[in-house]
Chains A and B, each alone.
Chain A
């Protein structure tokens, strides 16, 4: 009887011990990873910090002359000229592209109140910032050609879109060569 009692107590204590050890060794299931719960849209209503009504657009800096492409001047209707295309990572105007710029020169010489913004563009390769500079350099090359032909400097401005406004979407040289370009936007003063 005594041995049975001892045995019974031992089994109970072993069970308790097993539970004690198991509690110490148990691991919780890892929590679900991921930053957003299912169905949660971080851009849902109320997510904007600044809205158009909150912004106080204040031009505190006087610009060196108004920009033709600021929206104040109307575009010249029907004046569509072919883009000038450039080589990869290059700002020099290929000789075969001169005729396109000559056509713009002729038009501007015949229309004294027309002013021009040359827009420089790049293909998608390279960083956005460097392509903005390269696009501007291409536009400046065309501007210099126009100046050499006698178009007054104050009739020509430049702007760059870098790789931000491709003419053709996609990849590969057949697409890239169509995006490495200078375009002509004419305005009526």
Chain B
């Protein structure tokens, strides 16, 4: 009799535990558009040896899966997507994991490296999960360039997409602006006043690190940005006596003037993802507005209407353009599809603060921009699908003019 009750008891317990487990619910991958109803993911099943590198890997992975906007990280071992396997801090960092999602999705991922590699490897895995599970490019492993102003002066900095590994790159302490990545992330262009005038410089990380003067013509030299194929650089110069848009052949250093607007000035060029077009700003129509121009065009075509100003455009990987627009005395971040045109869509909060200088993340979903509150500038990550903006660098100083590598 006692054995009978024991057996019933055990069966009852098992029945209860099975029915209460979330794993019993069939998970499915949801592609959402409004930042809600996200796919649950857990990294809890990963085992580690409690070493520092393993702990860093786990935290960076978990945090950036959440930041991606596609996932809701959950504690416990049950979720729609499970990351299991082993992390070891012995001799550096060793990662061997399996990512699984129902009904039959899975992949394995293994890497080794020095202890310092724990963070970048976690960012890389985050992007791989986004790509494999969601079918979308990630943003986690794409670094950001920015301008920082602290007690020592103004310089160019870089950081990870979540603000980690913030590093000062230049140490001149002089006015600098307009950093833009080289397409292979081997360096960047930027404008610096090293000799008290604006000149465009090219920095290569190497090693060895190298900085060369790219454009120091009489007048203005600004807004240098390299084409996706690495062969050309668009820039704004006034060596002809008026501020115009030019393209420089980086091999020969020869210049081609792309605009002729003697009663207007241009600024802020950027390339389309395939390098066949330029987007830029011109005040030829009395106020600064966004224009596009194909390589075969003799003049640009205005893209944005309906705002008192539209400036600082950036072209995203999916073909959408983001820019800063002024309406009602305030600057906000907008997006527009150059193929279909139409009314620009406001993607920054209408909270009484100015949002400027947007730059797309490679996921074509998030945007980093400069927010000004009072007199302080800070960098904020916006989500075009509605998640709450996140401050990128929550430490003392002014941080602005970011460029997200594509």
> Cβ of B168 and Cβ of A48 under 8 Å apart?
yes
**Per-residue B-contact encoding for A1-23, CB less than 8 Å = 1, 0 else:** 01001100110010001001100
Is A78 positioned at the interface, with any CB of B under 8 Å from its CB?
no
Among B125-133, B159-167, B295-303, which stretch is in contact with chain A? B159-167
Can you list 15 A-B pairs with a CB-CB distance of less than 8 A? A2-B1, A13-B6, A17-B16, A21-B17, A50-B171, A57-B211, A58-B212, A59-B216, A60-B253, A126-B311, A129-B281, A132-B267, A140-B242, A159-B196, A159-B197
Interface residues of A in 110-152 (CB under 8 A from B): 126-130, 132-134, 136-137, 140
Q: Is the Cβ of B163 less than 8 Å from the Cβ of A69?
A: no
Task: Check: B344 CB closer than 8 A to any chain A CB.
Answer: no
In the complex, which of the residues A2, A13, A28, A70 contacts B75, with contact meaning CB atoms closer than 8 Å?
A28
How distant is A65 from chain B, measured CB to nearest CB, in Å? 6
CB distance from A126 to the nearest CB of B (A): 7
A51 contacts B by Cβ under 8 Å: yes
How many angstroms between the C-alpha atoms of A52 and B177 in the bound complex?
19
Contacts from A to B (Cβ < 8 Å): 2, 5-6, 9-10, 13, 17, 20-21, 24-25, 27-28, 30-31, 33-36, 42-43, 47-52, 54-61, 63-65, 67, 69-71, 89, 91, 126-130, 132-134, 136-137, 140, 157-161, 164-165, 171
**Range class of the B interface residue count:** 35 or more
Q: Which residue of A lies closest to B238 (CB)?
A: A136
Would A133 and B267 count as touching, CB distance under 8 A?
yes
**In the bound complex, do residue B215 and residue A42 qualify as a contact, i.e. CB atoms below 8 Å apart?**
no
Q: Which of B217-250 contact A (CB under 8 A)?
A: 217-220, 222-223, 236, 238-239, 241-243
A129-B223, A132-B198, A132-B222 given; A43·B168 CB < 8 A: yes
Residues of B within 8 A of A171 (CB): 375
Q: Which residues of B contact A36 (CB under 8 A)?
A: 394-395
Residue numbers in A under 8 Å from B395 (CB-CB):
36, 42
Closest to A128 in B: B177
Segment at the interface with A among B25-33, B100-108, B202-210: B202-210
Instruction: Answer whether A31 and B195 are a contact pair too, CB < 8 Å, given A130-B268, A133-B267, A165-B175.
Output: no
